[in-house]
């Protein structure tokens, strides 16, 4: 099992702890922000998975490529890909996007 922890700046002045855990083919992403606490999709986890480092305040932004490398072959990669594909498709409804966001959140919480 491997684990990486980031501190990220939230929308308000606070910071949140974002933990990624790679255990075999399983990738878990946990965030202490309100959305993450309730098991919902949060922008902090997705930003790291997208390789974005702007909100990291813990000084270990150089570890983001490790996390993005962990995506391969996981259900998180599949769910994130489905969401990104749906977001780009003009024919996809908001309800479908919301369902895919919930699917991605579930994948990251297991």
Where are the chain's structural domains? 2-108
Instruction: For residue range 3-25, list pLDDT tens digits in order.
Output: 999 999 988 778 999 999 999 98
Q: What is the chain's mean pLDDT, rounded?
A: 91
pTM reported for the whole predicted model:
0.85
* Strand ranges in the chain using DSSP code E only, listed in sequence order: 2-9, 15-23, 26-31
Cα 86 to Cα 50: distance, rounded to the nearest angstrom: 16
The span from the CA of 14 to the CA of 78, in Å, is 31
CA distance 43 to 38: 14
């Amino acid at each position: 099992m491997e684990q990486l922890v980031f501190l990220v700046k939230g929308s308000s002045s606070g910071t949140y702890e974002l933990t990624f855990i790679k255990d075999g083919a399983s990738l878990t992403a946990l965030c202490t922000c309100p959305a993450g606490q309730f098991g919902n999709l949060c922008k902090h986890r997705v930003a790291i998975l997208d390789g974005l480092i702007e909100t990291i305040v813990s000084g270990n932004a150089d570890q983001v490529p490790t996390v993005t490398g962990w995506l391969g072959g996981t259900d998180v990669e599949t769910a994130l890909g489905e969401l990104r594909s749906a977001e780009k498709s003009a024919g996809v409804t908001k309800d479908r996007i919301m369902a895919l966001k919930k699917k991605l959140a579930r994948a990251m919480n297991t």
